Amino acid sequence: MTITQGTFSYLPDLTDEEIALQLGYALGNGWAVSVEFTDDPRPRNNYWDMWGLPMFGLRDPAGALHEVNECRKAYPDRYIKVSAYDSRHGRQTTALSFLVNRPQ
């Protein structure tokens, strides 16, 4: 069964170019992007493992995409998601989150 979680999860898997465009949109809004992975994608499981720290100060999606691919290389059999955190006062929450890897 396909796990549907986060944005775009009813769509076919995003390609790298599409992921880069979404990351570019997040960075354009000033959101900090981070990569997380888990082997337990239940909706109630909020505690995904972090792949490195959130990437503050990034300007270009290439850096974030690089981390996504590194994470895929290390954990091809896990669920991997990208979340974009909006740190602005008054929001301070995850603004966008989508799966970038499903186990084959």
Partner 1 sequence: MNGTRPGFALPRTGSAAPGQVPGEDPGAVEAALELLPEDASVDLAAEREAAGVDAVLAALEGELVGLDPVKTRIREIAALLLVDRLRARFGLSAEPPNLHMCFTGNPGTGKTTVALRMAELLHRLGYLRRGHVVSVTRDDLVGQYVGHTAPKTKEVLKRAMGGVLFIDEAYYLYRAENERDYGGESIEILLQYMENHRDDLVVILAGYADRMEAFFTSNPGMSSRIAHHLEFPDYTLDELAAIGSLMLQRQRYRLSAAAEQTFRQYLARRITQPRFANARSVRNALERARLRHANRLAAGTGLLCKDDLVRLEPADFLASRVFSEGR
Pair 79, 65: CB distance under 8 Å:
no
Residue 58 makes contact with partner 1 by CB under 8 A: yes
What does the chain come to in residues?
A: 104
* Single-letter residue type at 56: F
**Of 32, 28, 23, which is closest to residue 69 (Cα–Cα)?**
23
Pair 85, 54: CB distance under 8 Å:
yes
Binding mask 11-50 for partner 1 (x = CB under 8 A): xx-xx--x--xx--x-------------------------
Residue 90 makes contact with partner 1 by CB under 8 A: no
Residue 67 makes contact with partner 1 by CB under 8 A: yes
Which residues lie near partner 1 (CB under 8 A)? 8, 10-12, 14-15, 18, 21-22, 25, 52-53, 55, 57-60, 62-64, 66-67
